[in-house]
Structure 1
Amino acid sequence: MQKLIESFIMAANAFDVEGTLSLFAADAVIDDVSVGDAFVGRNDVRHYLERFFVGYSTNSKLLSIEELDEFHSDVRLDFTGDFGHEIGILKIAVNPDGLIERIDADLE
């Protein structure tokens, strides 16, 4: 899962929305408590990436990965961008095909 997470960070930092989306299942969900909304399906995930990563010039730096099992990891990231600086926690679940099916996101 570490390679998938590193690919996600690299594509998101490059503002490569299509490349980042290719890592998600078609019915993926991002539930982000910090923005108070859930984004369901690729179109919503695209909107999330465009608004919160591209729109805020967000740069993410991996701080840690805790692999809970082969399908679940807790990831801690350092976020910087037009909003300032935050530390975020992503609870990432992948499907058997190795695609992200769910991210539960929050800030520390």
Structure 2
Amino acid sequence: MRSKSEDGEKGILDNMKLTVIHKDIQEDVQAFVADACLSYKEIVPEVYGKLAKGLKDSLDSKFKPGWNVIVGENYTGSCSVAKNHFLEISICNIHVLVFKSQR
């Protein structure tokens, strides 16, 4: 973890803790999602939609279409997911759910 960047500013990882809650996904996809989430300097309600759409578009482009992304503090739902295509992480107490539905 960085404490200071070369220009003296705090690094984006200094105040962000990413926790994997549930996973049934390939490591490269998990790493891609984690990197994308950590690239945001702050994750606040105003950027939830932008993060979800950007992450979905990036996943569709890199790992074939069909991804779904939900970002938020509190939500509920039910769905069937494709095997090896489910990830739930928490970053700064915000949940990011990434999955592909079964066809």
User: Normalising by the residue count of structure 2, what TM-score does the alignment of the two structures yield?
Assistant: 0.33
Greater relative contact order (Cα 8 A, min sep 6): structure 1 or 2? 2
Query: Bigger radius of gyration, 1 or 2?
Result: 2
User: Normalising by the residue count of structure 1, what TM-score does the alignment of the two structures yield?
Assistant: 0.32
If each structure's strand is expressed as a fraction of its own residues, which one has the higher value? 1
